[in-house]
Structure 1
Amino acid sequence: MKLQSLPLARHLGGVALTCALAFPTLAHAQMTSGQTLYEQLGGKPAITKVVHDMIVNVAADNRINHFFAKTNIPHLQMELVNQVCEGTGGPCKYTGLNMRQAHKGMNLSTADFNALVEDLQKSMDSNHVPLGLQNQLLAILAPMEPHVVHQ
């Protein structure tokens, strides 16, 4: 499976930064014991919970919450869930903008990107996602940084 470089449109009021979480180009979802990463994470309900909690963390994070001031949060959550679902080998489809288009003109810093990753990690920790699965998700995310920062 090949996922297009991901994310949310700029018209979401800067929300595209969060889409960096939504995981980039992935040749195929990692599999262990015959299960996709999507299945190992617990499928769409578990992904939805992690994404929801990440959004709550971002809202409380003064380092980056200003990027989301005019964001349609329910739409953001739906898009992120679809991106993570597809990127981890699930049945969902993401159809948003690619990362470069979504972040053009935002001039996000590496610190902004890292803050979002920290908020995702907190969400995964609070949802008891095993460290190995967290690392697989973060490995999918890491290559997105150059498509997000300083665009």
Structure 2
Amino acid sequence: MGGSKKVEEIVENFVVEIERDPVILAYFDGADINRFIDKLSEQICHRTGGPCEYSGDTMEQVHGGMNITEADFNRTVDLLINAMNKADVPHPLQNKVLRVLAPTRDEMLYL
């Protein structure tokens, strides 16, 4: 993937993408953005085979009550793709990242 620096770059780019999208930004109202950055970095590192352990809450705990729609979930995936593009992550590697994150979809939607 490119190590922890690359993961951090992707997550920082992702936060900027979220900040520019009023629909998705609304889901982060009152969120601790620094914690979000730390835990998402851990999760990406862990799920892509890095040495990190994810120490955050379950996806159900984090997203419960948010009523995330499939359209908004897909929109967020697009923002993550934009973030990876800006970090110069090659498309085949992007597909691998998305594949390992895809199982979290059902843990986030309509809770």
The TM tier, using the shorter chain, reads: over 0.9
Deviations 1:15-42 (A, max 9, x none): xxxxxxxxxxxxxxxxxxxxxxxxxx11
The CA distance in 1 between the partners of 2:66 and 2:99, in whole Å, is: 24
Shift of 1:141: 2.0
Equivalent of residue 43 in structure 2, options 83, 90, 94: 83
Equivalent of residue 24 in structure 2, options 48, 55, 64: 64
Q: Does 1:113 align with 2:73?
A: yes
Trace 1:10-21 onto structure 2 (pairs within 5 A): none
Deviations 1:92-145 (A, max 9, x none): 111112112222221110011111101100011111101100000111122221
Q: Is the 8 A contact 2:27 2:66 kept in 1?
A: no
2:12 aligned partner: 52
Q: Report how many residues are paired.
A: 111
Q: What TM-score, normalized by structure 1, do the two folds share?
A: 0.70
Q: What TM-score, normalized by structure 2, do the two folds share?
A: 0.93
Q: Is the 8 A contact 1:63 1:115 kept in 2?
A: no
Q: Which has the larger radius of gyration?
A: 1
Taking only the aligned residue pairs, the percentage that are identical comes to 36
The CA distance in 2 between the partners of 1:145 and 1:79, in whole Å, is: 17
Trace 1:1-151 onto structure 2 (pairs within 5 A): 41-151=1-111
More helix by share: 2
Deviations 1:55-113 (A, max 9, x none): 11001111210111212212211111111111111111111121122222211100111
Q: Is the 8 A contact 2:47 2:101 kept in 1?
A: no
Which residue type is aligned with residue 88 of structure 1?
Answer: T
The CA distance in 2 between the partners of 1:107 and 1:42, in whole Å, is: 34
RMSD: 1.1
